[in-house]
Amino acid sequence: MRSKRLFLQIFLAALLIIIISVFATTWFGTQMIQSFHYQQMEYDIRDRALLLRPHIQSLLNGESEQLQSFCRETGRAATTRITVIAGDGTVLADSNEQPSEMDNHGKRPEILTALNGAIGSSLRLSKTLDENMLYVALPLHEENTGSGVLRLAVPATALEAVLSSIHLKIFLGAVIISFLSALLSFFFARRISKPLEDMRRGAERLAAGKTDQPIVMRDAHVSTEMTELANSLNNMAEQINNRLKTIIQQRNELEAVFTSMTDGVLAIGPNHHIIRINKTAADFFHINGGAVQGKPFEGVIRNRDLQRFLEQSINREFISEQDLTLIEGGQQMTLRTQAVPLYDGDGLKMGSLVVMNNLTRINRLENIRQDFVANVSHELKTPITAIRGYVETLLDGALDKPGEARNFLEIIHRQGVRLDAIVDDLLTLARIEDQAEKDEIRLQQENICRILEAAIQTCSVHAKQKNIDLDVQCDPALSCPANRPMLEQAIINLLTNAITYSPEVETVSLRAQRQETTKGHNAIRISIQDHGPGIASEHQQRIFERFYRVEKARSREQGGTGLGLAIVKHIIGSHNGTVDVKSRLGQGSTFTLTLPAED
């Protein structure tokens, strides 16, 4: 929007105010005059009607011609139109027209008011006389309001002519006054704006850093206040400049700290509006922190428990704390909220400061830790319990029975092998984590097809036992940075699971191809598809946890340790890749490894 000069703003504003005031006063005065005259006419007509009502009442039970004759003679003598209307709106008599030729008057506004027992009035154009008339109607019988109405009307033409003459004179006077006011406004606006324009130019120089060019008032007619203001600006310019630099520096430091905090911080005022919110808190609720400042938190934060906590914290003079569970973006989130009273520089309470610590990941890790401890304890205890049981049986006399003793020793051997496999897998996981943490995993360009062929050779015996075909599709030129033994181990684990859980005489498909990611980078995708029982959706996010089993009894019957997929996840993670699964019950599963490739 284009700005205007101060002179024009003062002049136009003053002129506009004067014109509006003059014409508003003129309009109000004319309206009051008009209202007063019409009100006086209405009172006069009402008094006439009250005088005529007893005569009309006495003629109602007589001949209609007498009533009509009375209305005509009286109306002409008083230059007033007199109309008598029955309760159903039928015209009984009229001083100007034949009643039989007139329309039903039951819908006229003044008639409706009179039929309800009050005195009605209306100013409108008469279709019969083709001129503006002022109508006043009152009930014929006060005790029986619906029995009939007496209406009197007088022409408003003469009054309108007088009012028009008054309006014209007032309008001409208003125009002359406005013109004179414009001249005075021009003079005073110019006199006021000129020193202010000089001060503006001086302030612009000060704002530009030219503190050696103070504001000088050259006009001799400048008021004392203007001169003192210019001197104050000159004295304060340098101080403001220095303080502004300090404030900007402190604000930037505080803003950096506030924005960088990993905990969510929310400041709310006593009227529930959001004073400040940092990026972490805004991310919690998927909102734009800058756009919600100054808005009530009820319209931004939808969780009722958190709203109640914020409402209570505003009225408290002590620190309050509560753990809350929210659902944001379809995900459950646990927040530890702590609210402290917020005070201004004068010690007055201005709201509440709420700090929110996201415990979701901590709780999830704690649950995973508890599950891991329970699962590893169970996995280790199962073979140990079996070994101890059969050893005790042998010590109790089964050694004297060679057949049973051999059978028990074979079971002990199998359980020992199972226990050894669990320990080996745990050591493998620990080694991978340790090497990844120390950045000791060396990646070099490897041919993907050769790695797949080596994995297939390892799993071919198991596949032949179940008459399962291994279908491989791979471009011989595919390569990516990889640690060959570790990547081969991950593919073997996935192939082993696919063969184990697929029914006999089926096909396990192994595909490797180059694709472009959503960010435009090249990647190698290796997918293993089986036709097994599938994995329910609620288990798909957890099957990569250590010892997590979808069907514990069936998994142990298959001989797995429960660590194969966890090893796969850590191996692919050490390659800066990802692993995911797509599965539906009864339709098999597809595990996909995505590894970054050179662009």
Residues of the chain with pLDDT under 50: 1, 553-555
Residues 380 and 354 in one domain: no
Structural domain count, the chain: 4
Tell whether 246 is covered by a domain: no
CA 32 to chain centre: 51
Tell whether 103 is covered by a domain: yes
The C-alpha angle with vertex 522 and arms to 471 and 434, in degrees rounded to 5, equals 85
Read off the CATH number of the domain in which 23 is found.
3.30.450.20
> What is the three-state SS of 437-463?
HCCCCCCEEEEHHHHHHHHHHHHHHHH
Rounded CA-CA distance 562/162 in Å is 106
**If you ran DSSP here, which 8-state letter would residue 270 be given?**
T
Residues 207 and 326 in one domain: no
Rounded CA-CA distance 195/227 in Å is 9
Residues 378 and 487 in one domain: no
Residues 3 and 23 in one domain: yes
Find tokens 């990569």 and name the residue. 544
Domain that holds residue 564: 444-596
| H helix runs in 61-156, sequence order | 64-78, 109-115
561 three-class SS: coil
Read off the CATH number of the domain in which 487 is found.
3.30.565.10
Tell whether 86 is covered by a domain: yes
Q: Contact, 71 vs 83, CB < 8 A?
A: yes
Phi/psi at 544 (5° precision): -90, 0
What pLDDT is recorded for position 409?
A: 76
Tell whether 329 is covered by a domain: yes
Read off the CATH number of the domain in which 407 is found.
1.10.287.130
Residues 316 and 389 in one domain: no
Residues 13 and 115 in one domain: yes
> Hey, CA dihedral for 476, 482, 486, 492, is it positive or negative?
negative
Q: Contact, 202 vs 230, CB < 8 A?
A: yes
Q: What is the pTM of this model?
A: 0.41
What pLDDT is recorded for position 527?
A: 92
Rounded CA-CA distance 391/414 in Å is 13
Who's near 583: CB < 8 A, 6+ residues apart? 534, 535, 540, 589, 590
Tell whether 154 is covered by a domain: yes
The C-alpha angle with vertex 67 and arms to 65 and 73, in degrees rounded to 5, equals 95
Quote the tokens at residue 394: 């042998």
Quote the tokens at residue 306: 């958190």
Rounded CA-CA distance 596/519 in Å is 12
Which of 559, 581, 553, 557 lies closest to 568, judged by CA? 581
Residues 206 and 63 in one domain: yes
Cα dihedral 388→390→391→392 (10° resolution)? 80
Rounded CA-CA distance 126/123 in Å is 9
Burial class (CB in 10 A: 0-12, 13-18, 19+), 132: middle
Residues 528 and 590 in one domain: yes
Q: Which of 308, 326, 358 is the last residue of a domain?
A: 358
Quote the tokens at residue 244: 């502004």
Residues 21 and 112 in one domain: yes
Tell whether 255 is covered by a domain: no
Half-sphere exposure in the Cβ direction for 94 (13 Å, CA): 17
Q: Contact, 107 vs 89, CB < 8 A?
A: yes
Burial class (CB in 10 A: 0-12, 13-18, 19+), 275: middle
Quote the tokens at residue 348: 């007055």
Burial class (CB in 10 A: 0-12, 13-18, 19+), 182: middle
Find tokens 């570790």 and name the residue. 486
Q: Which of 437, 471, 502 is the last residue of a domain?
A: 437
What pLDDT is recorded for position 148?
A: 85
What's the full length of the chain, in residues? 599
Rounded CA-CA distance 561/423 in Å is 9
Q: Which of 325, 340, 358 is the last residue of a domain?
A: 358
Residues 396 and 449 in one domain: no
Residues 394 and 426 in one domain: yes
Tell whether 247 is covered by a domain: no
How large is the angle between the packed helices 484-501 and 448-465, nearest 10 degrees?
A: 30
End-to-end CA distance of the chain: 51
Rounded CA-CA distance 91/106 in Å is 9
Identify each DSSP E strand in 79-159 by its residue range: 81-86, 91-94, 120-126, 131-139, 148-155
Quote the tokens at residue 59: 């003629």
Tell whether 464 is covered by a domain: yes
Residues 107 and 190 in one domain: yes
